[in-house]
Every structure is written in C-alpha cells, then in structure tokens.
Amino acid sequence: MSLQKPNLKNVQKLFKPKKKKRGTHKIGLPPASLIFTGDKKQEDVLINLITYDENDFYEEVINLNQLEDHLKLQKKVTWIDILGLHDVEILEKIGSIFGIHKLTLEDILSVDQRPKMEVFEDYIFSTLKMIQCLSPESPIDEEQVSFVLHEDVLITFQEKKGDVFQFVRDRLLDPKRAIRLRGADYLLYALLDAVIDNYFIVMENVGERIENLESQAMTQPGNETLNALYLQRREMMDLRRTVYPLREVIGAFDKYAEHKISPETRPFIRDLYENTIQVIETMEVFRDMSSGVLDLYMNSLSNRMNNIMKVLTIISTIFIPLSFIAGVYGMNFDNMPELHWEYGYFYVVGGMAISVIGMLFYFHKKKWL
C-alpha cells in the first residue's frame, strides 16, 4: 500500500455523517406494517428477470403483470432482481405471488434492518448490507440487499440500480460455467459470495486510508487531522455493526437450512463462512488500528508540545544570566568601579556573549539541542 497524505480539505466530504433513520414513524403501528423507511433513490421500480439452464439464457426487464406469465412457463432457474423499494404496493403484490410473509416484507422495507437469516416453510429469507468503496478517497456506500429463495426462484431486493453482482451475471452468460448447471441455491451462494468478496476490497481501501491518516498524524497533527480521525473511528464502528452479524447469517444457512440447500452447495456455504470470519478479523484489526492512530495523534501532539516547551525553556535559561548581569549593573550605585571603566561596556557585553556560547555548548554536549 502506498502512503499518501490525505486531502484534508475534502475530509468532511469524504466522511460525511450518515443520517440515521430511527423509524419513529413506525412507533405504535401493528406488526407487519409495510412502510418503506429509506430514501427514494430512483424514480421507478425495475424488475429484471433472468432465467437460465445448461443450454439457454434469457434476460429481460419486465413489469409486474408479465411476471406471473413468465412464472407459468418457468422450467428453469429464475432470478428476479427488484431494483427500488419505495413502491410498497408493488412489493406487496410480489409477496402475494410468492407467498412471502408480511413480516418478511416488513424486514425488506426496513432498510436499517440488522443482517439476519430466517427459514420459513416455503422459502429462505436473508438480508445484509452491501457496501462499496471504489478507492481510499471515496466514501463508503452502504445499501441493504435482501434475498428470498423460493424453490428454483431467487428474488433479490435492492434499494437502487448499481450493485456488485456484475461478475455473477457475466458467469451466467457463459454456458461453460458451473453455475449454469446448478440450482437457485447455488445462485444465492454466488451472490452472497460477491457481496462478501467486495467487503475485502472495501477493507483494503479502508486500511490504506487509515495508513494515510497515520502518516498525517505523525507529520502534521492538526485540528483537521483530529476531525478525520474521529470520523474514521466512527466509520469503523458503523462497519462493525454491518460486518459482525455476517458470521451468524452465513452460519445459519449450514445449520438451519440443510433441507433447502443442496448437498452440492453446502461445501461452498462453509467456505463462504470462512471468508466471513476473515472479513471480521480484518475489520477488527483495522478498528484497533483506527483507535491506535488516534493515540498516535495525541502522542505526536504531546511530543510536539514538549519540543516547543524545550525550546522556550532553553531560551529562558540562556537569558537568566544575561538578566542577572543587566540587573546588577542597572542598580546605578555611586561606588560601582565598573561604571567608570573606559571599556566596561565592551567587557560586560563580551561576558554576556561568552556565557551564551558556553551554555549553548553545554546544551549541545548534553544533546538537549
């Protein structure tokens, strides 16, 4: 990783505080009340349909009325990607088509939902955070994505267009890939794997950002650096809330959903669990580094202050004998013979200069300078 000084002029923009939605408008409502708690991030709700098997692949953006017609003809693996959650009516109709419980729909619409996994009689439901960070200078973009696995149909719910699933789509286009030979449960694994793999990219960028801040904290400890460190520490706390529940979410697939996950897919789920543990461990390391950089900043600032105080103390010490000599000969007594010397002034100034040089030599010998 290359160490670069962060642009502190843009630090407030980079670490722009996120507005946390507290969901206070849902207080007092009965359970399973379908209310979208996020922000509208695109105009229309898009339904992207992908069906495939070993020999054929088909993709089309459809409307809600066409969905049921496609399902009647469906004899292949189907991936229904819902982009946009702001239209509650559309999501309620989709839930009715696939028999999705109202509590599940409520979790899908609550975009601040904690990552979780639940097994129902007819489907598996899982939701987690999909995060993206294109470079160390880019802010972290967080979005909730939900998965409903219903027999050979996988439904994904996203807040907006733009995700980390393009590599999976590219693999689906290639008939030679193993994903075309497997069922919807393997597609679910592939999408979860894409989300978790992207966590490694985000962690790498966050680690480089922390190293840049560490360099800045040592060389230029100032108010802007301190603000960046505090905001970075808060970002790591948000990341921890996002990443830490992944272990129990992925682990639940192998523990509670054995009857819905094929034996061929289970080893991949276990491998995904190991990747999740690695992400969590990396996050904890960077979280400790973030706290350590703040301590480094305080130590650097204290050391800088000590150096300033040392210089001021040396200057004050040098002027002590000078002030003493000036004070003695500033008393103006009549019987001070030195006052009547022809070269008295030069002797006194010379003595002052010798005392200054002697003290500087002594300080240098002691390595105080």
Q: What are phi and psi of 158, to 5 degrees?
A: -125, 155
Q: Are 5 and 224 in contact (CB under 8 A)?
A: no
**pLDDT by residue for the chain (369 residues), tens digit each?**
444 444 545 444 555 555 554 454 666 677 777 888 878 887 888 999 999 988 889 899 998 888 888 887 767 899 999 999 888 999 999 999 999 999 999 999 988 888 999 999 889 999 999 988 877 777 788 889 999 998 889 999 999 888 899 999 999 999 889 899 899 999 999 999 999 999 998 888 888 888 888 777 777 777 777 787 778 888 888 888 888 889 899 988 888 777 788 889 999 999 999 999 999 998 888 888 877 877 777 777 787 888 888 888 888 888 888 888 888 888 877 777 777 777 888 888 888 898 888 888 888 888 877
Strands (E), 110-263: 116-119, 124-132, 141-150, 153-158
Q: Which CATH class is domain 8-17+31-300?
A: alpha beta
Is the CB of residue 249 less than 8 Å from the CB of residue 257? no
Whole-angstrom Cα distance, residue 270 to residue 247? 11
Element (H, E) at 52: strand 46-52
Burial of 120 (0-12, 13-18, 19+ CB in 10 A): middle
CA neighbor of 131 nearest in space, from 159, 92, 107, 151: 159
On the 0-12 / 13-18 / 19+ scale of CB atoms within 10 A, 172 is: buried
Residues near 54 by beta carbon (within 8 Å), at least 6 away in sequence: 175, 180, 181
**Phi and psi (nearest 5°) for 154?**
-115, 125
Q: If you ran DSSP here, which 8-state letter would residue 338 be given?
A: G
Element spanning 296, H or E: helix 266-328
Give the fold, CATH level 3, of 310-365: Methane Monooxygenase Hydroxylase; Chain G, domain 1 (1.20.58)
Residues of the chain with CATH 1.20.58.340: 310-365
How far apart CA 361 and CA 318 sit, in angstroms, is 11
pLDDT at 184: 92
Amino acid letter, residue 240: R
What secondary structure does DSSP assign to 106-154, as a single string? Answer: HHHH-TTPPPEEEE-SS-EEEEEEEEE-SSTTSPPEEEEEEEEEETTEE
Cα–Cα separations (whole angstroms), residue 265 to 51, 52, 185, 196 = 19, 18, 7, 17
Pick from 313, 135, 307, 140: which is nearest to 221 by CA? 307
- The CA-to-CA distance between both ends of the chain, in Å, stands at 36
DSSP state of 337: G
77-83 sheet: strands from edge to edge: 57-62, 46-52, 77-83, 153-158, 141-150, 124-132, 116-119
pLDDT at 142: 87
Q: What is residue 296's predicted lDDT score, i.e. its pLDDT?
A: 77
Contact 82, 94 (CB under 8 A): yes
> What are the residue ranges of CATH 3.30.460.20 in the chain?
8-17+31-300
